[in-house]
Structure 1
Amino acid sequence: MQVVNWLPRTELPFAAPSRPELLETPEPEVEAVAPVLPAAAAHAPAQPAARPAERMKIEVPRPTPATGRPAAKPAEDAEEAPPVVRPAPVPPPRFALQLLRAGRCLLLVELPTGEPFQSRDPAYLLLKDMLRAAGLPDAPQIVGEPVRWPLLVRSSMDQGPEAARDFVQGFLSVRMEEAPCAFVWLIGLPAVRFAGEADAEAFNRELQIEGLGPAWALPGLELLMEEPQRKGAVWQAMRRLMARWKESNE
């Protein structure tokens, strides 16, 4: 029956005395009961757990250089725009040209000294020889005053190479409208450059000038006198082109 201890209700005769610890009645065990909360407290929302306090961010001022120099700018500000390079103004060219007429040819001649031709000037005498060799009248007629450039010494107007070219070509065009010509002689580098839009490499060659027609580029009279060896090329070119103005004279 699995009885560990058994105590009789009455003292049995001739029985051995009972042990006192067996006669002690154990105290009943008390179960732990959860405390009963009030109804309001039971339905109240649970309080969130307290969050740890956030640390305040403290701005630490950066130390400025002791020299007092401003702080370095960002890379975008440091890259400055490149300076605008303006082209240097081109000084106005300086020349003097005289227009003459011989037969049906117009001659735009560089004035070696800048002054009008005189009858005994060596340059003018050389020009007369060239006209006779070309079969043209050796007493050319002067047309108008010399063309001097720049027009005004002190002026803010544009007097550069392009303005000089437009002026010379316009001057020639007006004179050709007054009296048509068959051929134009451009004698001297300024005449070749600003009337024929060419350079010294065009000497002794025929040019076709838009709006002006055919022209012959020649070295200047003074250059021919200083370098006589150039005259041979001039005579050869003259023989090739002579038929152009001779046919128009007939």
Structure 2
Amino acid sequence: MQVASWLPRVELPFAALSRPELLQPLVEPEPAAAVPQVVAEAVPAYEPPRAEAAVVAPTPRPKIEVPRPQPQGRMAKVEAAAVDAETPVAPPTPVAPPRFALQLLRAGACAVLVELPTGEPLQGRDPAYLLLKDLLRAAGLPDSPQLIGEPVRWPLLARGQIDQGPDAALEFVQSFVGARLEEQEPCSCLWLVGLPAIRFAGEADADAYNRELQVEGLGAAWALPGLELLMDEPERKRELWQAMRRVRQRWLAAT
């Protein structure tokens, strides 16, 4: 009958135990050809490796500098001091010595420190000396002043390492005039005629023209424009005469 196996519908008494796998329902196996087909669909077809493309490096982005905040307060001062300490200090620029020539005179109760326009002592026929004589007569003083010492010419030396700047010139002129005046009778007023005389004896400037000054160590002084300036600009004489009317009482009272 071609029966491979059979199972009883009921349990037979005193029968041998049946094998468990025979009791499970038969499952028909899937066809073997389906597995390769599924695997073929899941796995892509083989392709030969291609030549690697040249790798292009990315272009670097420009670096952006972010300004750092400057230190403030005490730290800023400390850093600034550190920078100043490291910075080399340049030597001071030498100042050219001033150039002038002065002559000290005595006219009655006044001493006159006058700028020499040519650097040489005033002569009797010089226009500058004639103008000075006119000023002395208008002031009520003798018009033939006496020389006191030699002219002061600055700089003292043509060469050398001695300081001959403005400060040295100021100290020298004041010392020279003070020493010469101590050898004379006391004077009521010191005339400072010309900008060099005003600057290096009276410690003033052109703003002091026609004004009275009080110079330490030299006493009362009167500042006048230079003789050449008065000849080049005659309009200055009017202001000079007006100032003289006020100042002349100082030495007229002493005579």
**Which TM-score tier does this pair reach, normalised by the shorter chain?**
0.5 to 0.7
* 1:194 matched residue in structure 2: 200
Distance (Å, rounded) in 2 between the aligned partners of 1:134 and 1:181: 15
Q: For the structure 1 residues 185 and 81, does the alpha-carbon distance in structure 2 shift closer, same or farther, using more than 3 Å as the test?
A: same
Aligned mate of 2:120, from 85, 97, 115: 115
| Equivalence for 2:179 | 174
TM superposition shift of 1:83: 2.1
* 1:126 maps to 2:131: yes
Which blocks of at least 5 consecutive residues in structure 2 are unaligned? 1-82
Query: 2-side partners of 1:87 and 1:225: how far apart?
Result: 39
One-letter amino acid matched to 1:147: V
User: TM-score, with normalisation over the residues of structure 1?
Assistant: 0.67
Q: Which amino acid aligns with 1:225?
A: M
Between the two proteins, the alignment pairs up a number of residues equal to 172
Tell me the CA shift for residue 79 of structure 1: 11
In 1, Cα distance between equivalents of 2:214 and 2:227? 22
1:106 to 111, 115, 123: 111
Secondary structure at the counterpart of residue 102 of structure 2: strand
Aligned to 2:44: none
Change (3 A) 1:186 1:80: closer
Q: Distance in 1 between matches of 2:176 and 2:243?
A: 26
Partner letter of residue 101 of structure 2?
A: A
Counterpart code for 1:83: P
Query: 2:248: which partner in 1?
Result: 242
Give 1:158 shift.
0.7
Counterpart of 1:158?
A: 163
- 1:89 maps to a residue whose letter is P
Which runs of structure 2 are paired with 1:1-250 in the superposition (5 Å)?
81-179=86-184, 180-249=186-255
What amino acid is the match of 1:129? D
What are the ranges of 5 or more consecutive residues in structure 1 without an aligned counterpart? 1-77
| Contact 2:149/2:180 (8 A) holds in 1 | no
Please, what is the CA RMSD of the aligned residues? 1.5
Q: Secondary structure at the match of 1:145?
A: coil
Report the alpha carbon displacement of residue 231 of structure 1 after superposing the two structures with TM: 0.4
| Residue identity in the other structure for 1:158 | D
- Alpha carbons of structure 1 residues 79 and 244: separation in structure 2 relative to 1, 3 Å: closer
SS of equivalent to 1:138: coil
80 and 224 in structure 1: CA distance in 2 versus 1, 3 angstrom threshold: closer
SS of residue in 2 equivalent to 1:144: coil
| Letter of the structure 2 residue corresponding to residue 181 of structure 1 | C
| Cα deviation digits, residues 13-67 of structure 1 (max 9, x gap) | xxxxxxxxxxxxxxxxxxxxxxxxxxxxxxxxxxxxxxxxxxxxxxxxxxxxxxx
Q: Cα gap change, 1:79/1:130 in structure 2, threshold over 3 Å: closer, same or farther?
A: closer
| C-alpha separation in 2, matches of 1:228 and 1:122 | 13
Q: Secondary structure at the match of 1:224?
A: helix
